[in-house]
Each structure stands twice: as structure tokens, then as C-alpha cells.
Amino acid sequence: MSALLLSGREASAAILAALKPKIGKLDPKLVVVQVGDDPGSSSYIKQKIKSAAEVGMRSEHCHLASSMSLEELLSKVAELNADPDVTGFIVQLPLPDHLQPHVPEIIRAIDPKKDVDGFGAYNLGKVFLSKEFEHLPPATPAGIIMLLEYYKIPVAGKHVVIVGRSNIVGKPLAVMMLNRDATVTVCHSKTKNLSAITKQADILVAAIGKPKFITGDMVKPGAIVIDVGTSRVDGKLTGDVDFEVVQEIASAITPVPGGVGPMTVCSLIKNCVQAKERQMKDMQTNI
Ligand code: GUN
């Protein structure tokens, strides 16, 4: 039997439609900073700008030369922090090779009130302290939570196994799941006997970055499988899960594309609205 398809396109369309009146009222503006011409980044950014336009949100693609220095990029960040018309902004990753080692410094420079990716220490720290998303949660894990909520899939008491421990997906998602009463196991490149652990998962999240890494023999029959992978194989977007095989084993699965990707964009837009609401209430004293 084939698994239920967890469509991020459908879920994000419903969530964004409900958000549209608020966007009309608050008029937030999103800026996406791109340095250089990474083809993957160009395609994600196109999607972000298109989705913003579809819900009537103002957005701007700030495309900078790949030769830009760290100082120039930090000065752009400072300019966006100071611009009262900019509600939120992101610096699309990866950056060109000479800037990539400075990503922590660049993220640190972004005002937490405008950090709509939710990558900075303030917004990541808030994930620890609050189940509710009253801050700006990291976009991809928050999108996964919203997707499960949309499909009314409970997580309390479930064994959630996350493969991948990045600061922007695996780690914050583990905390979000814990906050929702799941039992969580986080696996990574040094984990021994990986498939013995993934096979215990009621909900299996693959955030590894290796195409088709999760094979059928790693999945428990009836599990829910969330694929965060976005590798390009022969120009085709490919997930971390061997979809064709695993869809016959799982009870529900996200496709790639059309699963987690649209939920990340949805979270980004939702964060922008939240940022504008907070800026209007002048919550500065809470930071
Ligand atoms: N690169 C891939 N996904 C993302 C994302 O969600 N935000 C940023 N800033 N860069 C990315």
C-alpha cells in the first residue's frame, strides 16, 4: 500500500491563505540577500520571492557580487538592520568560499528582531524555553511542525528519530519535538548501527544532505517519514530518502520537491508577519 503524501504545497497554501488578511494590514517587507550565483540558492530565492508576491507581501532580492568582502557584507547587514522599512531579512546560504567560514559572525550581526530565518542565538535559544512560536523559530523545523499539525499527526509519546544534527534543522527540531512530548533520538555521521535506530522510529526525519541515504530496510512499516534533503542529482532535486521504495513501507511521507521545501518558505513568511507584529508593539525590552 502506498503512503499518504504529506504535501507541503497544500499545507503552506492553506496556512498562507489564512495569513493573507494580516499581511494586507501589516504590510511587512522581506529582503533576501544573495552573494554570488549559487544555482541552488537562485532557485530557492526565486521561490521565496514568488511565494511572498502570491500572499501580497513586499519583498526584495538584494543580489551582491561574489567578490564582495566580509566587511562589505557586514555593512549591508548593518544597513538592513537600521532600515525601518525592512521587517526581516535573510542571508541565503551557502556563501562564496571566502565568506562561508564567517557565517557565524554574519548571523550574529543580524538583529534578532529581523532574523526571519531564526538562525541566530536569540531565536534558537527561545526554542529551548518556549513551545509556542512567540519568537522567530528556525524556518525549516518550524515548517515540519506545522506540516505535522496540518495533517493532524500527533507527536506526543512517539519515538522521533532525526538523522542529522545541524544547528538549523536537526538540533532545533529535536527540541521542538521534546517540547511536544515526543521521545527523541538524534543520529549523525558517527552514530553506530544507524539502521537499528531508524527502524525504531514512529516518525523518521532525514536531514543528512545525502541523496537516497534512507533505504527501505531502515524504515519501520507504518512509520511517518519526513525528508528534508534537497540534493541535486543530474539537475533533479532529490531527497535524502529513497522515495520509490520507502513510500511502499511508510504510512505517510513527504515528497521532494513539494514537501518540506514549501513549508520552509511558509515559515519564513509567517516569521516576517510575526516580526512586523512584534516591531509594531515595540518589544525591544524583551530582548
Ligand atoms: N540555504 C538553504 N536553505 C536555506 C534557508 O532556509 N535559509 C538560508 N538563509 N539559506 C538557506
pLDDT in tens, 80-96: 999 999 999 999 999 99
Strands across the sheet with 58-64, in order? 58-64, 29-35, 88-91
CB of 92 sitting under 6 A from ligand 1: yes
Instruction: Select which of 34, 92, 247, 274 is catalytic.
Output: 92
Domains of the chain and any CATH numbers: 26-111 (3.40.50.10860), 129-260 (3.40.50.720)
CB of 264 sitting under 6 A from ligand 1: yes
Q: Find the 80 Cα to ligand 1 centroid distance in Å.
A: 18
Q: Find the 2 Cα to ligand 1 centroid distance in Å.
A: 31
DSSP 8-49: HHHHHHHHHHHHHHHHHHH--EEEEEEES--HHHHHHHHHHH
Yes or no: say if 283 and 255 are a contact pair by the CB < 8 Å rule.
Answer: no
CB of 148 sitting under 6 A from ligand 1: no
Q: Find the 128 Cα to ligand 1 centroid distance in Å.
A: 21
Nearest CA to ligand 1 atom 9: 92
Per-residue DSSP letter, 96 = P
Strands across the sheet with 159-163, in order? 4-5, 252-253, 224-227, 203-206, 159-163, 183-187
CB of 227 sitting under 6 A from ligand 1: no
Q: Find the 93 Cα to ligand 1 centroid distance in Å.
A: 5
Please write the tens of the pLDDT for every residue from 122-163: 999 999 998 887 789 999 999 999 999 999 999 999 999 999
CA distances from 105 to 51, 83, 111, 256 (A): 29, 20, 12, 32
Q: Find the 140 Cα to ligand 1 centroid distance in Å.
A: 9
Distance CA 44, CA 73 (A): 20
Question: Is 117 noted as a catalytic residue in this protein?
Answer: yes
Question: Is 48 noted as a catalytic residue in this protein?
Answer: yes
Distance CA 30, CA 41 (A): 16
Instruction: Select which of 111, 115, 117, 240 is catalytic.
Output: 117
Question: Is 92 noted as a catalytic residue in this protein?
Answer: yes
Per-residue DSSP letter, 214 = B
> Residue 147: its pLDDT value, please?
98
Distance CA 39, CA 237 (A): 12
Average pLDDT, the chain: 96
pLDDT in tens, the chain (287 residues): 699 999 999 999 999 999 999 999 999 999 999 999 998 999 999 999 999 999 999 999 999 999 999 999 999 999 999 999 999 999 999 999 999 999 999 999 999 999 999 999 999 999 999 888 778 999 999 999 999 999 999 999 999 999 999 999 999 999 999 999 999 999 999 999 999 999 999 999 999 999 999 999 999 999 999 999 999 999 899 999 999 999 999 999 999 999 999 999 999 999 999 999 999 986 545 55
Nearest CA to ligand 1 atom 8: 92
> Residue 235: its pLDDT value, please?
87
> Residue 136: its pLDDT value, please?
96
